[in-house]
Chains A and B, each alone.
Chain A
Amino acid sequence: AQKVTQAQTEISVVEKEDVTLDCVYETRDTTYYLFWYKQPPSGELVFLIRRNSFDEQNEISGRYSWNFQKSTSSFNFTITASQVVDSAVYFCALRGPSGSARQLTFGSGTQLTVLP
Chain B
Amino acid sequence: DVKVTQSSRYLVKRTGEKVFLECVQDMDHENMFWYRQDPGLGLRLIYFSYDVKMKEKGDIPEGYSVSREKKERFSLILESASTNQTSMYLCASSFRGSEQYFGPGTRLTVT
Contact = CB atoms under 8 A, between A and B. Distances in A.
Interface of A: 33, 35, 37, 42-47, 50, 91, 95, 97-98, 100, 102-104, 106-109
Interface of B: 31, 33, 40-43, 45, 48, 56, 58, 88, 90, 92, 97-105, 107
Contacts of B107: 43
Interface of B is mostly: strand
23 contacts: A33-B97, A35-B99, A37-B102, A42-B104, A43-B107, A44-B103, A44-B104, A45-B90, A47-B101, A47-B102, A50-B98, A91-B43, A95-B97, A100-B56, A102-B97, A103-B58, A104-B33, A104-B43, A104-B100, A106-B43, A107-B42, A108-B41, A108-B42
Nearest to A92: B42
Given A100-B56, A107-B42, A108-B40, A43 B97 contact: no
